[in-house]
Amino acid sequence: MGTDSTTSSPTRDIYVDPGMMGTDLKTPPPPQDQGVDPYLDVAPPPTSVPDLSPEYISEVGIVGKLSHKNLVKLVGWCHGGRELLLVYELMPNASLDKHLHSSTNHVLPWTDRYKISLGLGSAILYLHQEWEQCVLHRDVKPSNVMLDAEFNAKLGDFGLARLVEKGRRSLTTALAGTMGYIDPECAYTGRTNTKSDVYSFGVVLLEIASGRKPGVVDAQEEYAIPLAQWVWERHDSGCFMDAIDERMRGKFDDQEAERMLIVGLSCCQLNSSLRPSIREAVSVLLFESPLPVLPVAVHMPMVGTSAATGSSGDSIATSKELDGPECM
């Protein structure tokens, strides 16, 4: 992709989607028998270009090197003129939040929900432990989980992502993420690590299972109850399955539902040392490991009602420099 054009074909369909730091262009992938899209001139990612936002450089620099079936593929980029553009493969079914919180009568089937959960876990596992460096995504949420034609999950939007050398215990970074998905321990201590992504993953699991947004608002209350707290209350009261999206009308696998809810709660524990690694969480979802034992109910910190507005909330990144993660 050249620096002053995005495509040379007038017949090529391109989907434009506003990103966190600019505009994301999504285009259909090239035919199977072609290694490169003939309509795109893909240049090496920028590493040091004046006036480009750090988020833009971070996303292009990181995602351009990654390759996994559950990550959105970056096709090209452009920073000509005043536009910052990223070109991704087209995701026909848009983002996960559109299906979980749609105003239509469409209800995402349970089989798709579980497949999406496994795909998202696989993507994070690759980022944390299977690539040559550890990648902290720092903004795992349903609006960043894209769905292909078969409803396979593909994690995208790496604008807040950071690279960490494996084995390194600290990293100077900025507090970042989306309200409702930010690790409370990270917000309080200013320290982030792979367990912060695990916390966000847990919230997304609970959101997929329950169909509810990350903050559950009681009309009589001033504050929203964190979704994890809402699910935990049902676990302790003996009506755990009541947490499953009522729109499913009982059409779900009981064992899978139990695993998704328990793994979600385990990932959302306030003490990050008690959370599973992403590999451990995925192993339970795959029925390769036994269910973790949950502690007695814990009270999650209350969140403002803005946290209940949904997974498409704006990502934030403070300018304050903080000590950061230990990469596993």
Q: Kind and range of the H or E element at 146?
A: strand 145-147
Euclidean distance between CA atoms 327 and 16, whole angstroms: 34
**Nearest CA-CA partner of 209 in 110, 95, 97:** 110
Q: How far is 302 from 11, CA to CA, in rounded Å?
A: 51
Residues in Cβ contact with 287 at an 8 Å cutoff, skipping those fewer than 6 apart:
255, 259
The H or E element that residue 226 is part of is strand 224-226
Q: Which of 261, 310, 242 is nearest to 99 (CA)?
A: 310
Please confirm, yes or no, whether 139 is among the known catalytic residues: yes
End-to-end CA distance of the chain: 35
Burial pattern 210-234, b for ≥16 Cβ within 10 A else e, equals bbbbbbbbeeeeeebbbbbbbbbbb
Q: Which residues pair with 16 in a beta bridge?
A: 25
- The tokens of 37 are what? 């899209």
Q: Which one of 37, 97, 139, 197 is the catalytic residue? A: 139
Rounded-to-integer distance, Cα 253 and Cα 250, Å? 9
In this structure, are residues 267 and 202 in contact, taking their beta carbons and an 8 Å threshold? yes
Q: Where in the sequence numbering do the catalytic residues fall?
A: 139
